[in-house]
Every structure is written in C-alpha cells, then in structure tokens.
Amino acid sequence: MKSEEVIDMKLYIEKDYEQMSKLAAKLIADKVHSKENCVLGLATGSTPIGTYKELIKQYQAGTLSFAKVKTVNLDEYYGLEPEHEQSYAYFMRDNLFNHIDLPQDAFRLPSGTAKNIEEECKDYEKHIEALGGVDLQLLGIGHNGHIGFNEPAASFALYTHQTYLDERTIEANTRFFASKDEVPTQAITMGIGTIMKAGEIILLASGKDKADIIQRLLEGDTVNPMLPASILKLHPHVHVIVDEAAASLLKSCCKSSTCHLH
C-alpha cells in the first residue's frame, strides 16, 4: 500500500501538542455525546495526558459527562499492583478517573497480578465483548511502531495476551521509574485483533522523536507485523492526529484533505 492510498487513515497535522490534544478530546467528546453507553478504549503514556486534561476541563465546565460511559484500557505492566504508582491503573486514576464522573465500576484494565494470567486475558476479551465492543479506541505509538504492547514480531497477536517488552520500550519507559532495572519486562496487552475490532480509532503522536515512526507508518508501503501500527491501514475508520514536529519527516502530507500545513 503506497502512502497515497492511505485514505482511510485520516491524517490531521496540528500545530502543537495542545492543539493535537484538543482535537482528540473533541472527537472523544463527540463520540460520548452521540453514542449512549459508549465504550472507550484508553491508553496511557505521555501522549494522551493532554487529551485527558481537555476531557477533564469539559467535565468541569459541565459540557461532558462520563456517567454512562464504560472504559477499557489497552494494557498493564505484569507484576504491578493497581496501587503501584507506576501501574497503568494508578496512571488512569491520577490522570483521568479521579477527576470525572465515571462510575467506580465502569472502568477496567487488564490485571498485572492475576493468579492465572491466561484466564485473565480470556476474561478481558469476554468483558469487552459483553460491553458490546469498543466504540472508540485511543492509541499512542511506540518508537518501534508498537500499539498497546504489541511489539514488532513475526506475526500479529490476535487477543489479549502476556508479552515481553522490547528493549526500546523498556528504555523509553525508564523515564517513569527510578532506574531501568525497575521497569517491568512484561505486560498484559490487548492484541492487535482486539484493537482492530474497535469501531473507530484515534492514533496520537507528538514530538520530533516520533517523526521517524510516523513517516514509516504513513509512507511505508506494507502492512507488516514488524511495524505493528501498520495494521491500522486495514481498519476502515482511523484518525491519525499528529503535531507538526511528529509530521516533520512526511513528504506527502498534502495528500490529506485535512492537512493544515499546505
């Protein structure tokens, strides 16, 4: 698939992180407003923090309620209790859930400490199915092209599973821990199949350090499990929202009708 054919991946190039976050929050709020009992798939990491801040602002302004929303998260570190400050459960409470009216029983992340991880993975899939599937999934992207913790591999993993983190992921995530040795080496993650079942997907990328992977994703010509996010080219409803820094290596951005640079 050539970049010109990446038509279903609607590309938005926003001026900066703030504008990227505002647009992502707007699309999420639109979904919450338009779909009663909507199911959101959420991500952690640095990238979505601004989006969550915008959603909190809208809740505080009284223009958005999460009272009927359900959420599921992409992933969790293996071995970290939800109370651990670096767990993704803690991150979500700290950056979103504690600041909005999402009911206490309306969110779920994979458990990184379940006694039987295999059962937990199966149950996570069943849980998503019982909710009626994810209406809108938010994604960040790793420097190596991972989505969730689906690292580059020989094939695409279908379902929620336990996985080892790539060396580059461990290095990138060291910034959240006291040292590299403390970064968990494994995680539980939705599979590529789980992600692809979402009705709509928003992929966010910000900053110069994401420019190379965004260029490879949008201008590369294959769907390849060595660049896991490339599977999104086969999804019918994907918004790729990047800031100018993350778009800085793109050559054909003007082919997108929503490109703001030209």
Binding mask 17-46 for ligand F6R (x = CB under 6 A): --------------------------xxxx
Q: Phi and psi (nearest 5°) for 23?
A: -65, -45
Q: Which is nearer to ligand F6R, 146 or 161 (CB)?
A: 146
Other CB atoms within 10 Å distance of the CB of residue 212: 14
Q: Which is nearer to ligand F6R, 50 or 199 (CB)?
A: 50
C-alpha neighbours within 13 Å on the C-beta side of residue 140 = 23
Kindly state the tokens that stand for 192: 């590529």
Q: Which is nearer to ligand F6R, 209 or 221 (CB)?
A: 209
- For residue 223, give the amino acid letter: V
Of the residues 13, 71, 117, 146, which one makes contact with ligand F6R according to CB under 6 A: 146
Taking the complex as a whole, how short is the minimal distance between the CB of residue 24 and ligand F6R, in angstroms?
12
Of the residues 110, 142, 191, 220, which one makes contact with ligand F6R according to CB under 6 A: 142
Our finding on whether 157 is near ligand F6R (CB under 6 A) is no
Report how far apart the first and last C-alpha atoms of the chain are (Å, whole number). 24
Alpha helices in 115-177 (DSSP H): 117-130, 167-173
User: Catalytic: 146?
Assistant: yes
| Entry field: residues in the chain | 262
Which residues have a catalytic role annotated? 75, 144, 146, 151
Residues that bind ligand F6R (CB under 6 A): 43-47, 74-75, 140-142, 146-149
